[in-house]
Every structure is written in C-alpha cells, then in structure tokens.
Structure 1
Amino acid sequence: MTRRFSLSSAHGYADLGRQYRDFYAAIGSCRDGGAAGARVYDLRPEAGVGSITVHELLHGVTLTLYDLTFHDELVLDFDLTSDYFELEYCVDGLMHLEERGTGTAVFGANELSISHSRACSGRLVRPAGQRYRGVSIAARRAATTAFFGSLGTAAWEESVEGMPAELRDAHYLGRQAPPELAAAFADLFTCVLPARFRALYLESKVMEILARIVADAGTAAGSPPPRVPAGQAPMAAYEIERIRRIPELLMENLHEQHTGESLARALGMTPKRLSHGFKQLYGDTIFSHHRNACLRRASMLLVETDLSVAAVALRSGYSSPSNFCFAFKRHFGQTPRQYRAGRAPAGAREAAV
C-alpha cells in the first residue's frame, strides 16, 4: 500500500505552511513540544512510529526534525516556486528523491540536499519500514536574509548558485556533509537546552550551517570540476550504483573484518577501481568515511540513550572500549563521557531498547 500527498507553493509560502500542517495532521496527532513555537506530531499507529517536531524560528524560518518509520510507502509530490528555500540533512536512514529537471537519487545518511533557486517539481518517496532521521530548514527565500548577517544573501548567490550546473545539481540530489557541518546538524537534532533559550540556540546553529555551506561552496565554485585520474575511464552508472551501496553495507555488518579486496569481490569490481571510484564520489577513503560514520552513530547513542560507554562502543563497531574512547576524543575533542555530560541533562535520555 502507498500513501500519497501533494504540496505546492503556487499560492505562497503561508499556504504551503498550511498544507504541511494538514499533511502532518493526516499522519500524526499534534501536541505541545514544550518550547515556544514548537509543535510535535506523533505518528498515528496506523501510519507508523516516531515523530515530527516543528520549530518556527526568526522571520518565519521553519526547522523540522524527523524521527519516524512508516508502515507503508509514503509518496510526497511537490511543485515549488523559485521563492521556496530548503536544506535537508539526513542523520541516518534513506529516502528516494526525484526532481524532473535534475534527476533521481537515493538520499542517505550524512547527505545534505540544497534546493535550487528556481521552480522545481518531483516527488519524495519514503520506503516502508525504513527509519529516517533528518533535519529540514525551510523558508521563503527572502526570509533567509537575517541568517546571513553582515554577509548578506549575495554570498549565497556567489558561492552556492555560482557553482557549475552539474555541481549545483549534485548538491541538490545530495552530497556528503563534511564533519564540521554534520556536527552542526547533529547539534540541532540533539538540542536539550531549556525551552527559554532553545530558539536562540537553534537560530545560531542555522546561521552556522549557512556560513559553513557558503564557505565550502565558495571553494567548490572557484575550483575546476574533479578530474578522472589519468589512465582511468569515467565510472559507469552501474559502478556508481554499486559504490553507493558500500556505506550502508559496512554499517549493517559492523563487526565483520572487511577489506578493500573483500568489498571489491562482493561488488564485482577490482580493488583499484573501487578505491578510486569511492574517493571520487565521497572525497574520502572507504574506511575513513566508515570510521566517521561510526563515530557519528556513537555521538547520537551517547545523547539519546543510557547505554554504557562500552555498549555504545560495541554498537558503533568497536570491540575495544579503550580504542573507541581514543578515536572518539580525537574526532570530537572530548571523551565520550564529557560529550554526554555536555549534551544531555540527567534523566533526559531514554533507555535503549
């Protein structure tokens, strides 16, 4: 069974907001989220499990946090004008994105999608039984001015919209977020500040995220597109599809002793072709990328559960707690216990199941 909904901004951003509220009300029941401007929609039992939390920030910018699993496939058709602005970051899980003018993609863990500054239409497909956790920042394009401070929105036009068309499309369909940007999104998802200060903190994080995107995109826009190494043929579509399976494959089998050779055999590629192809797609080596993904998972477990550090290590792919603590501190600049103490007050975490 497929549940289908439609969204359009043809009648303005305020009307689009109403459509989103109607959509959320159709699949969930609304309750007060305990903070000014926050609404929480708990999914109805027939729709799935989890929640959608909506924060209304400065100048009508909407911050939405998703943590949900649908029982049935959900399709969301969209038709948006050029005035609509959105960033979406996937903490973990996946969904399918199809945009008529750009292409299709599987949008997955640690990927960031940056909307075009033009009209677009297409659909999002959330698979049945797939947990998705993500962050959306949406607004009328003009409303984002306040979040660029003294830089102004010209910085966005010069950097993000100044990218070559192929690179700009890739940022829309989903690109891996660098560690600093991923950490800023994780901070949005795990914020536990008192309600009185939460909006200010969330707004500051949105500003940080936009600043980091502008800085990264400005570098990319002024650089030539990546070149295929001399002597190598460009990757075929089937090779790209196979390589994109690696992050999920590694996360599903955390305690298996994978090597570049074993992965290459599993995917029907040569180790050299796999290594170079992964670096072209993700900008990192296979196992460095995987290690960062494991540590991001660990950071979420520390904040959201009462698991011991040893248990978090095991669930994040580390058989040795001491190795885990060393790697975690090197990556985040804090020990796991320091990170947990600074992010979640006592009694605020849920026990893991």
Structure 2
Amino acid sequence: MKWVLILCGLLILIIIWLVLDFRLGRRKHLLKANKVETAILHGELEIYTHGKEFFRSYFTELQHAEKHIHILYYIVKNDSFGQEFFTILKERARVGVEVRLLIDRLGSLTIKKKEVSELKDAGVHVAFCNRVRPPFLFYSAQVRNHRKISIIDGKIGFMGGFNIGKEYIDKDPKLSPWRDYQLQITGESVNFLQSEFFIDWNECALEKVDYRPEYFPKLPKGRIRHRFIPTEAGALEENFIQLIRKSTKSIIIGTPYFIPSAAIFAELLKALQRGVHLTLIVPYTADHALVQEASYRYLRRLLKAGALIYQYKNGFYHAKTLLIDEKICDIGTANFDRRSFFLNKEINCYIYDRSFIEKVMKVIEEDILDSKRMTLTQLNKPNLLRTVKETAARAVCHFL
C-alpha cells in the first residue's frame, strides 16, 4: 500500500510538471512569435503530386546548382534515399557550391553523428533546429519546425509536403503510392523563401549568415498571384478562420490528419449552415497511431451537417490544401490539425490565380475518383476497439 501511494504521488507530480512546463513554455513562445506574411507576389508555379517525378526534377536542380543550396526539412531519413540525397549535397559542396542543410532535431532523429561528420567534412554546413532544451523540456519537444523549403542559387524554390525518405518515392509497401502536393516556384517570391530560410537558420545555427546581395538576385515577375505566410504559435488557426469566414460557395480541405481546433470546427459548421458546400479528403490508411480515431468525432458531426467526406484509397494521402470558393488555394506544409495550428512552424502559399487553381482542381478531382465516400452508418457501426482508440485519441489529440 505504501508503494502504491508513493507511485501515485510521483504520477501526480509528473502530471503537474508536464502541465506547468507546457503552459509556461507556450506563454514564452507566444511572446516571442512574430506574425509575418508577404504582400501579393507574382511568380511561376508548378505542382508535383508524385514523389518520383518531383525528386527527379528536384535532384536535377540540386546537381546543377552553381552558387548556393539552402534546404530546410522536417524529416530526412537515414535510409538509401536519404544517402542519395546526402551524396548530391556533398558532391556540390566539394566543387565549391555553398550548401546549407537545416533539419528538425526530432523529425530527423535517425541522422547520426557519422552522417553529419561526413557532410561537414565535404563542406556542407549542417544545423539542427528546435532542439529539446530546458527549462521547458516537454514543450520544446512538442514544437517542431515542420517547414520544408529549398532554394537553389536564389532562383528556384520548392515547398510542400514531401520529406526525404524512401516512403516518399513509393518504397514503403504499406503507404505506396504516396500522394502529396509540392510546389516549384520561380520569380520574385523566391527571395522571400530565401529570407525565411535565413531567419530559421540564424535562430538555430551557431554559425550565423549575413544577408549578402548574391543571395537575393533581381528576379522577374511572373503571371501567378500568390503570397507566403509562415506561421507558428496559433497564427495558422487565425488565418484559416479568416479564410473559412470568406467562403460563400465551397470549401475543399485535403489533409492527412483532420483534428481541428474548437474555433475552426465551429466555423466549418457555420459555413455548412449558411449553405457552403464542404468537401474533405483524408487518407483511408493511417500512417500514425490514433490519428484517424481522433478525427472521427468531428467527421460524424460534419456528415450529419451535410459535408462530403472522401477517404483516399490509392496509397497514402499526405497532401495539404484548402480551397475557398475556387478563388483562393492554399498549398503548404501545414496539416489540418492542432499540432500545425498551435505548435509547429509551418509555411503556406496562398494562390489567387484562376488558371492555376483550375489545375489544382483537376488534381483534386482525380483524388476524389481514387477515394471512397465515408458514411455516417460506417462511422456509427459498433466497434469496441475503435471506441477505445477514440477515447485514447481524445485525451492526446493536441499532440497528434
């Protein structure tokens, strides 16, 4: 009995510590977070939806870099594909190209000292962002840099959902083929991606970088109107609420994880009540425990309110998009979940060009054809294991 009381006391102390750590860490984060967004920019955009096609183009651009390569990834895996990526970076560094690689410490946990040493020996500058640090160990472990951007010679940029790992090129049997949305960007807006990379680099790396003119060449304007919005510490929730409130006809959401905040969910229900058509695309197969079960209580209410929900079945759906009235299209790194809303650093591109949005709509139509429509009957069918998982997911949904 004595040991039981001691264990209970320890458990209570741990819970108190976790709650205080998280709340105080979040308060500090909110105080230091900056809200940034660009004015309307003009450039050229291309969208990639398949990993093999994207990485073929991406690796070719890396191999032809002449001056500098600046890369930020959430996940770089230490597998055969990750080694191929490292080989390209080392080769370019050895011929005098400035190569900087910034990766999230926990997202890229499989990268060992050996790989980092080999990169540095070849001349690659490597830094880890968002390390777990005191005094708020638990909170700092939750806040990740989920941005995925690359800038090559200051002239071409990439951003979107793809990370570096074999699953992203269809070499994971469970998750293949991998479906994602990735943007290739040229034109004046590449300069903003460059500056955003340096902000994150200088925040985390011991070796700071000066903003030299060579990093920001004069770039032509393109045809496609868009802007970039980096977010952290709750700013994404505010932005999405404003977008949803603008809707008068339709909302389309594509996301691998649907765990909305209470405020965003309320806005979606209000949109349905005023006659807006809501379509949601989510995966049929989950890549993480409890993420599907965490979404079910929201999906039930949306189905009752008249939303259309599709589960993508042709592989794993990892795309991240939000379309409002087919006039505003968001493609970026943020999921439609609380981790992206409140914890992660994200970056999204809001696109206002009708012709490009039509191209995205065709992609979405293909995804819906590869999906199965979800029904309320399906979700309400008695299932004890699912009920247990839903209960567990509800308790930890803020961190999924």
Task: Please state which band the TM-score falls in when normalised by the shorter chain.
Answer: under 0.3
Q: TM-score, normalised by structure 1?
A: 0.28
Q: Report which structure shows greater RCO (CA 8 Å, sep ≥6).
A: 2
Higher CA-based Rg: 2
